[in-house]
Chains A and B, each alone.
Chain A
Amino acid sequence: MLVALIALLLCAPTQGQQLLDLRQGTLGYVVVHKLHEVHGTTKQVEGRALALPDGTVKVQVRAKVATFDSGNSNRDVHMREATREAAHPYAEVKGTMSDVKLPLDGPRQATLHATVELNGEKHPQEVPVKLEPEGSGVRATFSFPISLDAYKVERPELLLIKVNDKAMISGDLHFGNEK
């Protein structure tokens, strides 16, 4: 009971703050092999954004690695093994944006000063984010490259050729007022 109360209070925005929950969204990755590209996506995304009165927006978005679907179940299992999903079940992006006043008066670009976590490895990442007003909420789309080697992901190989080190991460997220 006490724990639940504390959790509730921690999540509750104070006056002037606005808490937004992720209503729906897609996260995806693209890895490139010399013979083909692999696109993996998930719609099972969790996320929250906390807009502070000074224009700072804190964002946390994550998805279970096991929920990504590339259209090939063997490849998905392989991806889970390469990212040590058993020990690190989530891929996560979290960080802060500045000078974002809600509600938005139109589409705009912002930069999320983020930490990306994958395979238990965390790295800072500047993520360009396109923000658009959508109803009473915000639609955020982004795309950024990562180095699989930097995240210590043992790059999968096909026919003795490894996938490229560079992988693209993208997202299309719809935030609305707190549930």
Chain B
Amino acid sequence: MIALATALMLSLQGAPAEQPGPAQQSPPEDVDLLPKPAAPDAQAVAHQLELQSQLEKRRTMLQLHQVGGMLTLATLGATVVFGQLNYNDKYGGGGDTGRWYDWHKYFAFTSAAVFAATGALAVFAPSPLPKPARLDTATLHKISMGVATAGMVAQIALGFVTAGKGGSVSQRDYALAHQIVGYTTFAATAVGFGVLTFQ
């Protein structure tokens, strides 16, 4: 049996050398020099389908995460601008009219909500494929957004504390801290956005 198979294979091997013409004209699909990968069994096929489904869900969630990222940057930027205007109005000789207060407050709530929803889309997106832990642009994005998340939490607390110090001498110090953390949060968000957008 082995001898028969050997003879058969040897005769097949000899064919291209003896008939160079057909070998030259053979379509590229005929080139099989490497062993074929093993065909997946039924269990592997089911796993593939499940994996593909999870990846598609992940893709949808991360695409929404991108849209959320743009909205976060826009609303956070507006919050910073209105915050600065409010600060100038109150402490920079603007007459303390309070005309930017509500703009800043409502944009702050909106940006916090958009930020949380955007973050949730990324955190809860399925991640069915193992990813090696390493310093890459995805990791830099996560670090930046971690800083931004801490900043957002601090800002919400500082915002309420600052607002609650109305009439107090220390209110300006809290407002200054709120301002610094606000700019830091915006910068971290912008870095997190930019590192994926431009790299």
Chain A partners chain B: yes
A98 and B136 contact, CB distance less than 8 A: no
Q: How many residues of A contact B (CB 8 A)?
A: 59
The reply to whether A54 and B9 contact each other, CB–CB distance below 8 Å, is no
Out of B31, B58, B199, name the residue touching A77 (CB < 8 Å). B58
Does A163 touch B at the CB level, under 8 Å? Answer: no
Instruction: Enumerate chain B residues within 8 angstroms of A174, measured Cβ to Cβ.
Output: none
A17 to B17 CA separation, bound complex (whole angstroms): 8
A78 at the binding interface (Cβ < 8 Å) = yes
- Could you count the A-B residue pairs with CB atoms below 8 Å apart for me: how many are there? 137
Which candidate, A24-32, A45-53, A144-152, is the interface stretch facing chain B? Answer: A45-53
Instruction: Please count how many residues in chain B sit with their CB below 8 Å of the partner chain's CB atoms.
Output: 51
* Interface: B164 (CB within 8 A): no
B160 at the interface (CB under 8 A from A): no
The CA of A36 and the CA of B198, in the complex, are separated in Å by 5
Q: Write the B179-199 contact mask toward A (1 if CB under 8 angstroms, else 0).
A: 000000000000000001111
Interface-facing stretch out of B61-69, B96-104, B145-153: B61-69
Contact with B along A35-63 (1 / 0, CB 8 A): 11000000000111110111010111010
CB atoms of A114 and B28 under 8 A apart: yes
Given A77-B55, A158-B197, also A15-B26 (CB < 8 A): no
User: Within the complex, what minimum Cβ distance (angstroms) separates B35 from chain A?
Assistant: 7
